[in-house]
Structure 1
């Protein structure tokens, strides 16, 4: 089993959570079988423990870019702002946008993201008084109330809300859906070819036991990077090249001619 990389939305070993072991399913659910295999290959963890506002910041920075690009922006932001007041939300609420944009430039879309972060910081300060009270809200209130509140914040979508619930709140049964999860679930035939991100989330959360959703999400992303890539999935090299070939429908992958399309185009 490999170590979770730091260039990851969870923050890797330093991002909270702990290694855990989970019993495999009985084989009746193809989706759970897939997640069990991911756990054997990569890692099995329970998540939680991140500061909720910092987790929100990290997830916003990761939007529309890779973790390798967003991680330096996250680190630079903390270096510049986390020590000013002891409260990251208050520090960002008072930040100059051009200065913040320059600090997070490696994450891309830095003007838009700096506006979003300052707006979110002001809302957290106005409604909760700062990062600590917001963290308590995320970790103690019902998942539905937390999710609804986060989705009401401009710039926060379902994936961002679910990442905060998972990595900060430590909530079981939350399976965030990013581009990798969306692609793989439809390509493997777990979800319909035209399923949107919310459709995929509902499928994964229904089929995967609550305790396995967290590592299922992060390990599925790793699988998407190493094997089930968007344009050149490993199965193009033959069934032996992919450890999941026996449970995959290969929707949108035409092995004989080497063509790969989005499942919705089939």
Structure 2
């Protein structure tokens, strides 16, 4: 196994995302969801995450909301170039630099991420809260890494602009918390399409189903590998199985809810279940 087999383009990991390669002892999976994650690990990577700075992780995930990695990565890089420790407007503490940032200047800096006015306002407000409540980025980082996971998640969800996926990404990539399976649009689609979660489950329902069925240590790479699988094989409109069911490496583990190769029809799993 290479030192870091995860591709750079996945903002959830790669060199920018941190994490280290791990290997799990081979064995029989206890659930179909675990079997899926094991297979994804064979195709892509098995990694343990954690160690990223808590506040930077929060900012990075805010930037990634409702946009692609291709758009959010340059925005993150530009933000760090301006407000990070070595940036022209930066100081020793990223949260302090962003709390004092001019909103319009920050918006222009992160414009590649889309929704830049809204995101810049949220980032400044979050920075102000982190400075006030935790004394800065270091205090917030300690809270994320050592606080009770349920308390950390609840606190994050109370912050404006922080939803379940953002909170879970901070817990996983900064806190290194096992048993956290963040659910983005890829994971939400794939888990329901495969039958790993109820077809009509919302994001929280999918998260609960996956976290209950996948061992703690496998949830992190299950999340990032499933995202990559969604990009390469199980896209929203044209999954690989549509033309050839055997073209998908997970064909034998999938219920194909909402996908009908015989007719070429692809619908949301919830819509298929309602028929």
TM-score range, shorter chain: over 0.9
CA distance in structure 2 between the partners assigned to 1:222 and 1:25 by the alignment = 24
Query: Which residue in 1 is equivalent to 2:203?
Result: 197
**Matching of residues 1-266 of structure 1 within 5 Å:** 3-83=5-85, 84-266=90-272
Q: CA deviation at 1:259?
A: 1.1
Q: CA deviation at 1:45?
A: 0.4
Q: CA deviation at 1:24?
A: 3.6
Q: CA deviation at 1:15?
A: 2.2
CA distance in structure 1 between the partners assigned to 2:68 and 2:183 by the alignment = 15
Q: Is the 8 A contact 2:13 2:224 kept in 1?
A: no
* Count of residues in Structure 1 that have an aligned counterpart in Structure 2: 266
Instruction: Provide the TM-score with structure 1 as the length reference.
Output: 0.97
Q: CA deviation at 1:169?
A: 0.2
Q: CA deviation at 1:146?
A: 0.5
SS of equivalent residue, structure 1 residue 92: helix
Structure 2 runs not aligned, ≥5 long: none
Q: Is the 8 A contact 2:51 2:174 kept in 1?
A: yes
Structure 1 runs not aligned, ≥5 long: none
SS of equivalent residue, structure 2 residue 221: helix
Q: Is the 8 A contact 2:84 2:91 kept in 1?
A: yes
Q: CA deviation at 1:25?
A: 4.3
TM-align CA RMSD: 1.1
Q: Is the 8 A contact 2:192 2:269 kept in 1?
A: yes
